[in-house]
């Protein structure tokens, strides 16, 4: 329910931003009761995601619009595929068109990239996960698309997991101090959260092991040091590799034995999938 309300708010804000006081072009050109059919046409190969969001956009503008899907989110699609059809009032459909496509194209681009990364590590135990490097205000949709594409989600925000990074360690004085502070916080609040610690070298890995944390992040480690760190940790904590890992490097990283590989590029610099809405008169 919480996510449903958040998505509804995101869609409302996006429509308000685009429509303002009204779609003056459609109002000027199209007669009030004109009916049309629109087909969502995929113009390049990829993975589709966000059809339910596109439908919700259309229905928010005009509840009488009919929206029919021909594939499910997560389906691989090819150039020329029609993934959905919308029919109803022409003004309403054209008013909702760009917002619906913006969501559908971005989410499909994220899903397509996630699918490629997931396939690259499928022969290992490693799971590719996202980060908080998402478009402001669109995190829930970005993370939904990552899952659709076959990768996993990291923490959603600052509130659902401890992630002790280098700046926290600098302020606390040490990894040990920072971890102890987090445990005191949990005792005070009577709540349990996972604790993850970012490490920059093998000495910090050793301290994180002694602190008995849930996840140890290996930040910008060379492959040889990553292998050593995984052996040192030896299953005492889960291990996450992080730091500018791209598709060309991810296979080697996964084969070191890490549990997770975080990839900010899944969401922060994604290329939208090329999709258009082709309109014909009803």
**Average pLDDT per consecutive 10 residues, the chain (282 residues; last block may be shorter):** 88 98 96 97 98 98 98 98 98 98 98 98 98 96 98 96 98 98 98 98 98 98 98 98 96 98 95 97 83
Q: What is the DSSP letter of 80?
A: T
Contact between 239 and 229 under an 8 Å Cβ cutoff? The reply is yes
Q: What domain range is 25 assigned to?
A: 10-118+270-281
Q: pTM of the prediction?
A: 0.95
Domain count, the chain: 2
112 and 156 in a common domain: no
CATH number at residue 81: 3.90.1170.20
101 and 200 in a common domain: no
274 and 234 in a common domain: no
Look at strands 260-262 and 127-129 and give their pairing: parallel
156 and 92 in a common domain: no
276 and 254 in a common domain: no
203 and 171 in a common domain: yes
* CA distance readout (Å), 17 to 21, 42, 128, 160, 162: 10, 26, 34, 30, 35
17 and 112 in a common domain: yes
**CA–CA separation, 90 and 141 (whole Å):** 27
CATH number at residue 235: 3.20.20.70
How many Cβ atoms sit within 10 Å of the Cβ of residue 222? 9
**CA–CA separation, 242 and 260 (whole Å):** 9
Contact between 47 and 76 under an 8 Å Cβ cutoff? The reply is yes
Residues with catalytic function: 98, 133, 165, 198, 219
* CA distance readout (Å), 171 to 162, 164, 168, 181, 267: 15, 11, 5, 12, 29
Q: What is the pLDDT of residue 282?
A: 75
44 and 111 in a common domain: yes
Q: What is the pLDDT of residue 63?
A: 98
Q: What is the pLDDT of residue 1?
A: 60
């Amino acid at each position: 329910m919480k996510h449903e309300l958040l998505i509804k708010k995101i869609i409302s804000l996006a429509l308000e931003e685009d429509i303002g006081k009204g779609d003056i072009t459609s109002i000027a050109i199209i007669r009030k009761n004109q009916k049309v059919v629109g087909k969502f046409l995929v113009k390049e190969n990829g993975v589709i995601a966000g059809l339910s969001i596109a439908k919700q956009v259309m229905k928010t503008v005009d509840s009488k619009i009919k929206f029919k899907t021909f594939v499910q989110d997560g389906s691989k699609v090819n150039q020329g595929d029609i993934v959905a059809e919308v029919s109803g009032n022409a003004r309403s459909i054209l008013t909702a068109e760009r917002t619906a496509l913006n969501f559908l194209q971005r989410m499909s681009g994220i899903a397509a990239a996630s699918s490629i990364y997931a396939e690259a590590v499928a022969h290992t135990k490693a799971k590719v996960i996202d980060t908080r490097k998402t478009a402001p205000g669109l995190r829930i949709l970005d993370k939904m698309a990552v899952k659709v594409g076959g990768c996993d989600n990291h923490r959603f925000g600052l509130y659902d997991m401890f992630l002790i990074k280098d700046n926290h360690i600098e302020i606390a004085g040490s990894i040990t101090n920072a971890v102890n502070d987090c445990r005191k916080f949990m005792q005070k609040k009577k709540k349990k959260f996972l604790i993850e610690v970012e490490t920059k070298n093998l000495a910090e890995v050793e301290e994180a092991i002694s602190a008995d944390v849930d996840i140890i992040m290996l930040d910008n480690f060379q492959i040889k040091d990553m292998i050593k760190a995984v052996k040192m940790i030896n299953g005492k904590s889960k291990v996450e590799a992080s730091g500018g890992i791209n598709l060309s490097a991810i296979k080697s990283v996964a084969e070191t034995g890490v549990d997770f590989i975080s990839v900010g590029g899944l969401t922060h610099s994604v290329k939208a999938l090329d999709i258009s809405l082709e309109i014909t008169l009803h």
